[in-house]
């Protein structure tokens, strides 16, 4: 770890409480994003994750927090933490240090004199000493050995006014069913779901001042979650608010009753007031933002028309559009922004990855207004809470189906002591500082680039393998095989697709986790085994489709070759 030596006078100054001075000069193009009139932005830091890996996995920038003296801390998905300081007052970080346990994670917060951060399996803290950019105090383990399987392993946490801490253990499934994410999946029984939810799919409450706790030391606070990273305590109403990520792939499970449009539009990202014993209805149901109703999921007997009227399942205050992927949410506690923003919440949406072949959506920061009572205001005609777009233009294009075409994907939001809003993005590691200047002169916008809809001429689209790819594989790997950064690998450059045939067959039959090396690059979505779903001839056709499109000149695979590997299972 590299440390910078600062003059004593500067160290003393940095240890002092933050005193608001003149706002920095914004960038001419606001750092490439578009903001409401009166707001401007500048790039606080850039390229923090370019070229950085932990093992074989590329680092992605995630959540932010700002210290009382204005230092910014950014958490990486693979566990690294960046500490950033502006030493000359120009609004840009000129001292950047790296530290952290390096075992994954997303969340980071200050509370009661400590810097807290989480990994996939633990929550840590370090005593905060004003003036220290990198904490000089030892790492303390608050909670360890939390479950972390497959998907949704990042651990969100927050604190209430009494100092209690709630921590989420998300579901490792899209929907708790057998098989998961596959045609014909069937949900488990009520009793099996109840047992599963003793460990997964909820928040647990802990005393953060007790060290070396396990999940058994917590008390279950809420249940019926899929995965929730956007979590904030609202001090005026004395409540937690959170946003849950909705489910995927209804048309993959039951194409007789759901189509690609249902997948793209009909599963809300749900914003809830979270109290003790709140049940959000997962895995049995989902919220349809168009019908404005809770619907039964296909794994549990749903058909796209059957409502789930279980009174135990909470109704969202806001139903955000499908697949926008809510990440960090923060309370606006400053006074720099106009009055309407004070006490409200900013929410970063990472953006969709599985709406293809329709254009992707999200990729923005929205603002949710709250009243003096600490509750959302501005109800729509349907009775739902309101929100407004705040920061847009992150992708750099207005229409795209391939997530790799998005220039930036928002991830973190945090408020500085002077009331500035900091926004992070995952792909390059850029951090913006948003300020309010009061200049209401309309601006042209930084992303007025309109590109034509993308098309892909597949070879063999009408074969059984081509149809399987379009129905099952394209949502994750994209129709053109480009994959989704951090979610699913590209097939166009895949050594598995172009390599040994027996290995490729076994990856499809068993799933990559049982076939490929343990130290391979990991992705957010785990491909399930397909051996029990398709015939030998179907899988041979799928492999031939993959290779004709993404690894040409490789010999064709026969059903007999698939059968030979299946016989070894």
Tens of pLDDT, residue by residue over 148-184, are 887 888 999 999 999 899 999 999 999 999 988 888 8
d(CA 359, CA 556): 33
CATH number, domain containing residue 549: 1.10.760.10
Number of domains in the chain: 1
> Within a domain: residue 352?
no
Q: Are 232 and 240 in contact (CB under 8 A)?
A: yes
User: In the chain, what percentage of residues exceed pLDDT 70?
Assistant: 91
3-class SS at 460? coil
Q: Are 83 and 73 in contact (CB under 8 A)?
A: yes
Please report which confidence band the pLDDT of residue 21 belongs to, taking 50, 70 and 90 as the band edges: low
d(CA 328, CA 228): 10
d(CA 33, CA 44): 13
d(CA 409, CA 403): 9
> Within a domain: residue 213?
no
Please report which confidence band the pLDDT of residue 367 belongs to, taking 50, 70 and 90 as the band edges: very high
Q: What is the mean pLDDT of the chain?
A: 88
Contacts of 270 (CB under 8 A, 6+ apart): 243, 244, 246, 280, 287, 316, 318, 319, 320
Of 56, 90, 59, the closest CA to residue 74 belongs to 59
Please report which confidence band the pLDDT of residue 434 belongs to, taking 50, 70 and 90 as the band edges: very high
Give the pLDDT score at 7.
Answer: 41
Give the pLDDT score at 295.
Answer: 96
The residue written with tokens 């917590």 in the block is: 218
pLDDT at 347 over 50: yes
* Tokens linked to 269: 């990202």
Mean pLDDT lowest for which of 111-125, 181-195, 246-260, 515-529? Answer: 515-529
Please report which confidence band the pLDDT of residue 456 belongs to, taking 50, 70 and 90 as the band edges: low
Contacts of 564 (CB under 8 A, 6+ apart): none
Give the pLDDT score at 324.
Answer: 95
pLDDT at 75 over 90: yes
> Within a domain: residue 509?
yes
Each residue's pLDDT tens digit, 511-531? 888 888 887 777 766 787 888
d(CA 417, CA 421): 10
> Within a domain: residue 181?
no
Beta bridge partners of 82: 74, 98
Give the pLDDT score at 382.
Answer: 57
pLDDT at 5 over 50: no
Give the pLDDT score at 179.
Answer: 87
pLDDT at 8 over 60: no
Q: Are 459 and 549 in contact (CB under 8 A)?
A: yes
pLDDT at 13 over 50: no
Each residue's pLDDT tens digit, 457-514? 788 888 998 888 887 787 778 778 888 776 678 888 888 898 899 999 999 998 888 8
> Within a domain: residue 505?
yes
| Range 418-435 average pLDDT | 96
Please report which confidence band the pLDDT of residue 452 belongs to, taking 50, 70 and 90 as the band edges: very low
> Within a domain: residue 501?
yes
> Within a domain: residue 498?
yes
Please report which confidence band the pLDDT of residue 206 belongs to, taking 50, 70 and 90 as the band edges: very high
> Within a domain: residue 91?
no
Give the pLDDT score at 20.
Answer: 55
| Range 356-365 average pLDDT | 88
Each residue's pLDDT tens digit, 231-244? 999 999 999 999 99
Question: What's the start-to-end Cα distance of the chain, in Å?
Answer: 47
Q: Are 214 and 145 in contact (CB under 8 A)?
A: yes
d(CA 273, CA 287): 15
pTM confidence score: 0.83
* Tokens linked to 86: 């502006």
pLDDT at 54 over 80: no
- Whole domain around residue 532: which residue ranges? 464-566
d(CA 193, CA 39): 47
Give the pLDDT score at 449.
Answer: 42
Helix axes 501-510, 536-550, angle to 10 degrees: 120
pLDDT at 300 over 50: yes
Torsion sign over Cα 7, 84, 447, 319 = negative
3-class SS at 403? helix
Chain-centroid distance of CA 153 in Å reads 11
d(CA 34, CA 408): 13
Please report which confidence band the pLDDT of residue 123 belongs to, taking 50, 70 and 90 as the band edges: very high
Give the pLDDT score at 481.
Answer: 85
d(CA 97, CA 495): 36
């Amino acid at each position: 770890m590299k440390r910078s030596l600062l003059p004593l006078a500067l160290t003393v100054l940095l240890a002092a409480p933050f005193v608001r001075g003149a706002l920095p000069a914004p960038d001419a193009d606001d750092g490439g994003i578009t903001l409401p009139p009166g707001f401007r932005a500048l790039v606080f830091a850039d390229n923090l994750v370019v070229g950085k890996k932990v093992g074989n996995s590329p680092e992605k920038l995630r959540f932010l927090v700002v210290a009382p003296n204005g230092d910014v801390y950014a958490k990486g998905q693979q566990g690294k933490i960046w500490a950033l300081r502006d030493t000359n007052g120009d609004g840009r970080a000129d001292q950047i240090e790296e530290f952290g346990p390096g075992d994954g994670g997303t969340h980071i917060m200050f509370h009661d004199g400590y810097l807290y951060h989480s990994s996939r399996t633990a929550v840590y803290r370090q005593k905060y000493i004003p003036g220290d950019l990198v904490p000089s105090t030892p790492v303390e383990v608050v909670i360890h050995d939390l479950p972390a399987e497959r998907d949704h392993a990042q651990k969100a946490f927050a604190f209430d006014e009494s100092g209690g801490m709630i921590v989420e253990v998300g579901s490792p499934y899209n929907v708790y069913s057998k098989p998961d994410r596959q045609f014909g999946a069937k949900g488990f029984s009520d009793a099996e779901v109840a047992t599963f939810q003793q460990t997964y799919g909820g928040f647990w409450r802990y005393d953060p001042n007790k060290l070396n706790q396990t999940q058994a030391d917590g008390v279950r606070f809420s249940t019926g979650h899929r995965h929730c990273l956007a979590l904030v305590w609202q001090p005026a109403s004395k409540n937690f608010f959170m946003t849950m990520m909705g489910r995927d792939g209804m048309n993959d499970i039951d194409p007789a009753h759901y189509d690609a449009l249902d997948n793209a539009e009909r599963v809300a990202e749900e914003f809830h007031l979270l109290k003790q014993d709140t049940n959000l209805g997962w895995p049995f149901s989902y919220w349809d933002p168009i019908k404005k109703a809770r619907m039964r999921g296909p794994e549990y007997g749903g058909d796209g028309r059957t409502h789930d009227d279980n009174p135990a399942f909470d109704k969202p205050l806001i139903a955000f559009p499908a697949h926008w992927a809510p990440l960090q949410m923060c309370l606006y506690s400053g006074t720099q922004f106009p009055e309407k923003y004070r006490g409200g919440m900013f929410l970063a949406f990472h953006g969709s990855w599985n709406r293809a072949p329709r254009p992707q959506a999200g990729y923005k920061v929205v603002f949710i207004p709250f009243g003096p009572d600490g509750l959302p205001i501005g109800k729509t005609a349907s009775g739902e809470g309101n929100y407004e777009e705040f920061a847009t233009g992150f992708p750099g294009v207005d229409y795209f189906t391939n997530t790799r075409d998005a220039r930036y994907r928002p991830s973190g939001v945090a408020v500085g002591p002077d009331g500035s809003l900091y926004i992070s993005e995952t792909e390059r590691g850029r951090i913006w500082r948003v300020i309010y200047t009061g200049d209401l002169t309309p601006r042209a916008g930084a992303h007025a680039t309109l590109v034509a809809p993308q098309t892909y001429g597949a070879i063999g689209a009408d074969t059984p393998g081509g149809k399987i790819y379009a129905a099952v594989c394209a949502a994750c790997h994209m129709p053109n095989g480009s994959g989704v950064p951090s979610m699913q690998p590209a097939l166009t450059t895949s050594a598995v697709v172009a390599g040994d045939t027996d290995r490729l067959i076994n990856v499809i039959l068993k799933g990559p986790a049982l076939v490929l090396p343990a130290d391979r690059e990991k992705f957010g979505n785990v491909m399930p085994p397909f051996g029990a779903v398709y015939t030998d001839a179907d899988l041979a056709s799928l492999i031939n489709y993959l290779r004709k499109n993404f690894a040409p000149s490789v010999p064709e695979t026969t059903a007999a070759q698939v059968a030979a590997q299946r016989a070894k299972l």
